[in-house]
Amino acid sequence: MIDALFGSKTRVKLLHLFLNNPGQSFFVREITRKIDEQINSVRRELSNMLEVGIITSDSSDNKLYYQVNQRYDYYVPLRAIFGDGGDEPKIVTIEPTDTSIEKYGPIVRELSGLRLAIFSGVLVKGSNTAVDVLLVGNVAPLKAKTLISGIEKSEGREINYSILPYDEFYYRLSVRDRFITEIINGKHKIILDVDNVINEK
């Protein structure tokens, strides 16, 4: 049934492989062995998937490696369908990503020493920023890592986050540092701003 829906048995096998192994990369001959399909068919489907953006490629040791793009817009619903090796599609409820504020905001605000928190990237609908969570203040890295791991588990994808001391953030904001400017000028959601620094700017 899924083969007919997605137009190709090879494509379905590739989606199963990539979506069940996020963060893992494979080269072409390895892929053909794993999914037991002809190399020409695999190359053709990989090219299609690269064009769409569901996978990315990177070369290392004279080999081209492919892996799933966890920042792809439809990564979460596709993983719900193809994850865990299921053969039949599951009913997927796609919540608007802006619900991440209600979902994770209260937990993030409880971080000790936090003065500013911004959501962007995959956590905010319409945002293309590379950073998903920016935490500013005297935040314990281990506690932040644990919190982000919880969000990753809930979202089913990697979350890119950054922690900055307040003084460094304020300086970088004042000199219009590119990293900070991209977040502030892009689509974002302020979760906490104790000093009203973003509103002032």
Structural domain count, the chain: 2
pLDDT digit string (tens) for 117-136?
Answer: 999 998 988 888 889 999 99
Counting Cβ atoms within 10 Å, is residue 193 exposed (0-12), middle (13-18) or buried (19+)?
Answer: middle
Q: Is the pLDDT of residue 94 over 80?
A: no
Domain check: are 8 and 66 in the same one? yes
Q: Which domain holds residue 139?
A: 97-200
Tell whether 105 and 190 lie within a shared domain.
yes
pLDDT value, residue 76: 81
pLDDT at 4: 53
Are 76 and 113 within one domain? no
- Is the residue at 190 inside a domain? yes
**Is 90 part of a structural domain of the chain?**
no
Of 85, 119, 152, the last residue of a domain is: 85
Q: Side by side, which strands form the sheet with 26-27?
A: 26-27, 63-68, 55-60
Residues 115 and 77 in one domain: no
127 and 188 belong to one structural domain: yes
The model's pTM: 0.66
Domain boundary residue, one of 85, 110, 130: 85
Whether residues 106 and 168 share a domain: the answer is yes
Q: Where are the beta strands (DSSP E) in 19-175?
A: 26-27, 55-60, 63-68, 114-119, 133-137, 161-164
- One domain for residues 152 and 103: yes
In a domain, 112, yes or no: yes
In the predicted model, what is the mean pLDDT of the chain? 85
**Separation of alpha carbons 166 and 154, rounded Å:** 28
Q: What tens digit of pLDDT does each residue of 12-50 get?
A: 899 989 988 888 899 999 999 999 999 999 999 999 999
Same domain for 18 and 70, yes or no, is yes
* 3-class secondary structure, 138: coil
